[in-house]
Amino acid sequence: MERRRGARTQFSIVYVLLALALVFLVQGLVARWLGRAEEVPYSQFRDDLANGRIAKVTFEEQRIVYTLRESSEGESVEGNFTTVRVDDSELVQHLVEAEVEFQAEPPPSGIVTALLTWVLPLIPLALIWYFLFRRMGSSGPLSIGKSRAKEIAPERTKVTFEDVGGVDEVETELKEVIEFLKDPSRFTAIGAKLPTGILLVGPPGTGKTLLARATAGEAGVPFFSMSGSEFVELFVGVGASRVRDLFEQAKTRAPCIIFIDEIDAIGQSRSSVAALRTNDEREQTLNQLLYEMDGFESNQGVVIMGATNRPEILDKALLRAGRFDRQIEVPLPTEIGRRQILDIHTANVPLGPDSDLDRLAQITAGFSGADLENLVNEAALMAVRRGDAKVGKQDFDVAIERIVAGLQRDTPLKGETRRRVAYHEGGHALVSQLLPNTDQVHRVSIIPTSKGALGYTMEMPVEDRYLMSEAVLKERLAVMLGGRAAEVLIFSEISTGAANDLERATALARRMVTEFGMSEALGPVRYAAGSGPGYLGRELGLESDLSPETASLIDKEVRRIIEEAQEQALELLRTHRSALDAIATVLQEREAIEGAEVGRIVSETASTKP
């Protein structure tokens, strides 16, 4: 937060300076426009007067403005002339003699001028000020502290469960809430109490915000939404009063939903290390929120929903009974779910005959709903770039590649690096191809990505695997180490490129030993805490409680498993050396190779194997 605030200040100073510059500029322009007159010396004025060229003279407070007669040649002299007024007692006399029309303008030359020169230039300043405040997150300088709860009228929340895919279980859980919101009296009549606070918990992009919206849409009730980060304001105390306003507004519109998105921004545990430097503002806001939630009776017909992807950092007080006491998990979509989400997002996208959504759903394991939406969008952009009206398989392939591996960098690998990376990736691909239980190779590429990977092998999971046997895991390890093994085999040395592979392999092997009980030496005992690599993390870190002997035994077992996997990979590559060479050659030539071609190479070279 602190950093953002700093950035904001700098930002506004730049804006103020810009505004001032603009004010002077505009002011200058206006002044010029008002008195479009050429400045001449007083002597010139007297000269013109003496020669009878002057038609009209206006005396202003400080200056004299005059126009010339049409000259004898008929050419008219454009514009006015102005000169500084000097103490010239005979001037009037001369003017009368020369039959010049003259008048005086009362000082100061009119309110209009003042308005134009001063008020007009202030308008951009005011506008900029206004937008600055908008940016800072309040609708205007006068409304700081007023709740910005955006109330979306029932008819405007058109989102329904139709628009959310792959979360059937969540929808079922929310059905009851919807029934309640549709007709609270039905529930309150029999004294039934519903949980007031529902917390949607899940990784980013899985559709939590969308679901909250859809819940309001399904129930047809007003939807008040606010984001936790919005609460953190410029002035202390503002967040708290916003919360108060939000709840006040909502009460008058019941039945309705209050949705607090990214609630972790305010609900962070007060005792967490990050909060050692106490953030009064956040704490006040949180306290107000707790207070408001306590003051709620479920029969008031207001349902409070929250969303977070970091439930573990939430203050425990928020999760207590009567507050967000019902948590609903919104997980990453399964293959079926991904298919549904793809259907939703391709509804308005013309698909080519070769684009196969079933296959797409299959190869996008780990993608969130937002990723899939992004994928469809990227693919559509690719199609446009190709000048095609339909989105085809190739567009999706490139889009997946971009999303999985980050945007492609322009400079291709050269020379020795290119050869090394080709062998490395070829090693992964070949091992994967040769082992029976691994995922199919989808595509291998040595196009460097902006995320720093020099290449990657994309496997296509045959199905989402919830249960994996020890054999499958060991094969996975062998694939992970295949790149490194290829480097050892061909170059007799390893490069830093394998660091990430090692990291992943070590993590997997460790889980096999400590969580899955796959080591005989340690037995079927669980040594790790936490629920896997999920977003919930493993904050408890029980491993540190292990005895030193057990810890070193774990390390030994992890090492053994990895070494075995590496040996297996090496062995496979050695016996299929010609296939490895062939794949690496293709990669060096074309930078990418499709899974099918890897399969073909393997089956062709298998017979020529020594």
Quick check: 209 binds Mg ion (CB under 5 A)?
A: yes
Footprint of ligand ADP on residues 372-401 (CB under 6 A)?
A: 373
The three-class DSSP label of residue 154 is helix
Tokens standing for residue 391: 């989105």
Q: Does 217 bind ligand ADP (CB under 6 A)?
A: no
Q: Per the omega criterion (within 30 degrees of 0), is the bond before 108 cis?
A: yes
Q: Which is nearer to ligand ADP, 233 or 373 (CB)?
A: 373
Neighbours of 231 (CB within 10 A): 27
- Applying CB under 6 A, the site for ligand ADP has a residue count of 17
- Smallest gap from residue 249 Cβ to ligand ADP (A): 23
Query: Rounded CA gap, 287 and 292, in Å?
Result: 9
**Of residues 275-314, which lie at the interface with ligand ADP (CB under 6 A)?**
307
By CB under 5 A, tell whether 268 contacts Mg ion.
no
Return the DSSP state at 593: E
Nearer to Zn ion, 147 or 568 (CB): 568
Buried b (16+ CB within 10 A) or exposed e, 149-177: beebebeebebebebbbbbeebbeebeeb
Contact segment (CB under 6 A) with ligand ADP among 26-34, 177-185, 204-212, 587-595 equals 204-212
Helix (H, G, I), strand (E, B) or coil at 594: strand
Catalytic residue among 373, 425, 487, 597: 425
Looking at 77-85, 202-210, 291-299, 552-560, which segment touches Mg ion (CB under 5 A)?
202-210
Angle value at C-alpha 23, between 18 and 25, nearest 5 degrees: 95
Q: Which two structure tokens, joined as six digits, stand for 236?
A: 């202390």
Cis peptide before 333 (omega within 30 of 0): no
Partner whose footprint covers residue 164, from Zn ion, ligand ADP, Mg ion, none (CB < 5 to 8 Å by kind)? ligand ADP
Residues 160-199 that bind ligand ADP (CB under 6 A): 164-167
Footprint (CB under 5 A) of Zn ion, residues 487-516: 501
In angstroms, what CA-CA distances link 75 with 71, 78, 117? Answer: 6, 9, 33
Applying the rule CB under 6 A, the residues between 432 and 471 that interact with ligand ADP are none
Among 177, 332, 341, 441, the residue binding ligand ADP under the rule CB under 6 A is: 341
Least distance between ligand ADP and beta carbon 210 (Å): 4
370 contact choice in Zn ion, Mg ion, ligand ADP, none (CB below 5 to 8 Å, kind-dependent): ligand ADP
Sheet-wide strand order for 302-308: 150-152, 223-227, 256-261, 302-308, 197-201, 326-329
Q: Please report, as residue ranges, which positions from 275 to 314 form the binding site for Zn ion (by CB under 5 A).
A: none
- 515 part of the active site: no
Closest CB 290 distance from ligand ADP, rounded Å: 23
Burial 290-312 (b: 16+ CB within 10 A, else e): bebbeebebbbbbbbbbbbbbbb
Cα–Cα distance for residue pair 435/476, rounded to 1 Å: 9
Name the minimum Å distance from CB 373 to ligand ADP.
Answer: 4
Binding site for Mg ion (CB under 5 A): 209
Binding site for ligand ADP (CB under 6 A): 164-167, 204-210, 307, 341, 344, 369-370, 373
Q: State the catalytic residues.
A: 425
